Chains A and B, each alone.
Chain A
Amino acid sequence: MPGTRQLSASFRDPGGFLFTDHGILYRQINRAYAQDYARLVDSGLYDKLVKAGLLIPHVEVDQAPAVADAAFKVIQPERVPFISYPYEWSFSQLKDAALATLSIQKRSLKLDMSLKDASAYNIQFVRGRATLIDTLSFEVYKEGEPWVAYRQFCQHFLAPLALMAYSDVRLSQLLRVYIDGVPLDLACNLLPAKTKLNFGLLTHLHIHAGAQKQYADKVIVPRKGGMSRQALTGLIESLESTVKKLTWKPAGTEWGDYYENTNYTDSAFEHKRQLVKEWSAEKQPALIWDLGGNTGVFSREAALAGGFTVSFDIDPAAVEQNYRTAKTKKEQNILPLVLDLTNPSPALGWDNGERDSFNARGPADMALALAVVHHLAISNNVPLPQLATFFAARCKWLVIEFVPKSDSQVQKLLTSREDIFCSYTREGFEAAFSGRFAIHKSEAVRDSERMLYLMEVK
Chain B
Amino acid sequence: MHFTPLPYLDPGSGSFIIQIAIAALLGLGVALRASWSKIKKVFGVKPRSEDEESDSDDARH
Contact = CB atoms under 8 A, between A and B. Distances in A.
12 contacts: A52-B60, A106-B55, A129-B59, A146-B23, A210-B14, A211-B17, A212-B14, A213-B14, A217-B8, A227-B19, A234-B29, A244-B58
B61 A228 contact: no
Interface string A79-96: 000000000000000001
B13 A227 contact: no
Nearest to B3: A217
B30 interface: yes
Given A204-B22, A217-B9, A234-B26, 17 more contacts: A99-B59, A107-B56, A146-B23, A150-B15, A203-B22, A208-B19, A213-B14, A215-B13, A220-B13, A220-B17, A227-B19, A232-B23, A233-B27, A233-B30, A235-B22, A237-B26, A244-B58
B56 to A, nearest CB: 4
A97 B25 CA distance: 26
Interface residues of B, number: 32
B45 interface: no
A238 B30 CA distance: 10
B13 A216 contact: yes
A218 B2 CA distance: 13
A146 B16 contact: yes
Given A129-B61, A216-B4, A208 B27 contact: no
B27 A230 contact: yes
Given A208-B14, A208-B18, A217-B8, A231 B27 contact: yes
A216 B59 contact: no
A454 B18 CA distance: 59
A52 B30 contact: no
Contact of A218 (B13, B25, B30): B13
Nearest to A326: B61
A318 interface: no
A110 B39 CA distance: 24
A96 B59 contact: yes
A309 B31 CA distance: 47
A226 interface: yes
B12 A151 contact: yes
Given A151-B11, A217-B8, A96 B58 contact: yes
A211 B52 contact: no
Interface in A169-217: 183-184, 203-204, 207-208, 210-217
B10 A216 contact: yes
A53 interface: yes
A226 B20 contact: yes
A216 B52 CA distance: 39
A219 B18 CA distance: 14
B18 A184 contact: no
Contacts of A337: none
B16 A222 contact: yes
B29 A52 contact: no
A231 B26 contact: yes
A375 interface: no
A214 B27 contact: no
Contacts of B52: 48, 107, 110
A150 to B, nearest CB: 5
Given A146-B19, A211-B17, A107 B55 contact: yes
Contact of A234 (B4, B30, B56): B30
A234 B20 contact: no
A330 interface: yes
Given A208-B14, A208-B15, A219-B13, A103 B59 contact: yes
